[in-house]
Amino acid sequence: MAQCRDTDPDVERMQIERYRSMTPSEKLSRVVDLNRTAEAMAAARLEKTYGPLEPRELELRLAALRLDRQTMIEVFDWDPVERGL
């Protein structure tokens, strides 16, 4: 059964076969690459919203996208509500 409505079933079947043939290392590498891409896209959105950011501020804003407000305050002494996401 097709998982994606917008993907040709033959293409999806090839994709699944490729994933099944990958080694654990290849799969992990794929996940790492996807996470890096997602973080780069989030960083681009933040810099579009706030302009150029110092590296530390960018790290904090990226962390605030993943962590709850209380954790950000307790761990980093940084309140995303006051500073903005």
Can you give the pLDDT at residue 27?
Answer: 97
Using a 10 angstrom Cβ sphere, with 0-12 exposed, 13-18 middle and 19 or more buried, the burial of residue 12 is: middle
The mean predicted confidence, pLDDT, of the chain is 93
Task: Give the count of domains, the chain.
Answer: 1
Considering the domain boundaries, does residue 47 fall inside one?
yes
Which range of residues forms the domain containing residue 49? 9-83
Can you give the pLDDT at residue 5?
Answer: 80
Q: Is the pLDDT of residue 47 over 80?
A: yes
Provide the pLDDT confidence category of residue 2 given band limits of 50, 70 and 90: low
Considering the domain boundaries, does residue 14 fall inside one?
yes
Considering the domain boundaries, does residue 4 fall inside one?
no
CA atoms of 16 and 4, how far apart (whole Å)? 12
Considering the domain boundaries, does residue 13 fall inside one?
yes
Considering the domain boundaries, does residue 40 fall inside one?
yes
